[in-house]
Structure 1
Amino acid sequence: MKLHLTLHDARSGRESFRVVRPASPPAHAELFDDSWYLNAYLDQEAAQLMAGLWTLAASSPRTLVHLPLRTAGGGTPGDRALDLVLLHHSLRFAPARWKRLRARLGPGRPRTVDLRPPRPRPREETEGTHPRHADDRDRFHQHIHAETLFLTGSAPLFRRNAELFRDVARSGPAHPRTAARHGHYCREVDCGIHFRGLHIQYVDPADEQD
């Protein structure tokens, strides 16, 4: 999978940070904070992009992966539209610094990353990953600041959850359209007992036009 990105370097205080963004934000992708859940609505293309970005976050621990998602519409009254930032915990970036750093990013420069197909995961990454048995220390930490959801985690954690987005991209379009009356195709990023889950829902753009 090829990711077409924009690469940015900016300083915050005495430190320099690298930020990557998609060269073109997805046309059908939204993220909302509805107080009970964090809800992401994605079509197939957006779900594939998200899978790629989460894989990139796993392999780029010194980089902030930023996906602008805020839109003028969508959601329900009271929902707050959010952007998304993925970052490795070793970066130790404080979300309170984001607004100033974001303002300094500039136009950036183009870059294309060719992501290799997922390899079989080591046993230590796959054992005990059921929500009831997962080590709670290896869960996403989440913060919301400056209209942005920050998800901070480990490389194995990003790799595991990239598979959820691949599944939504693969299985969402095959979900019977008639099921829309009874439910929808979705997966959830489990953030443990201390944070809300990220509910990922497949949305067919054709249904939005009906």
Structure 2
Amino acid sequence: MRLTPVTWERLTEAVADRVLELTPDDGGERPRVAIDGAPAARPDALAQALAEALRLRGRPVVRVRAETYWRPASQRYELGRQDSDAYYERWLDTGALWREVFDPLAPGGTGRVLPSLWDPATDRATRAAYEELPPGGVLLLEGALLQGYGFPFDLSVHLRMSGAALARRTPEDERWTLPAYARYEQEAAPGETADVLVHTDDPRHPAWTG
């Protein structure tokens, strides 16, 4: 695999341009884009920059953070608060994401998306208002462990970190999640299935597949 050094600014602009190149036949009516990466890789930062770049190009954007579609704590912690297998397999409410995000953006869908469902900090419903995403608008779903569920992404960006780098940059109280990311790399192979792969071991010097 050939990796090329890139700046975050150049990467953002290139991904934004690629989104604009999508046609209605391959999801261009309302492109669904994944920014996939562990929290230490900062998928939120890239999603924010990409949202701004797309809006400058005249595209409405709805951002959805995957953690706002986690299940309630009573379900997440059923096997314990630090069970890495549960984190990998059970925390994300995939059924709610299909119902509230992906189904409305399918061909012929309403475009009416719920940008958040559950606040993991307060463990309460966010009571967010639905947002209308018009044709040409873009969904950005950002967060960890997003591939492998069959979500209909039209473009996926995976922010990859080596195990050593991930361990260094993950706060001590979150290192119990590291086995989940190792499983994800092995079982879902996001680096192979993503449309854009970005290595972020050194956040100052990312490299990508182009």
TM norm structure 2: 0.27
TM norm structure 1: 0.27
Which one scores higher on RCO, CA 8 angstroms, separation ≥ 6?
A: 2
Q: Specify which structure has the higher proportion of helix.
A: 2
Q: Specify which structure has the higher proportion of strand.
A: 1
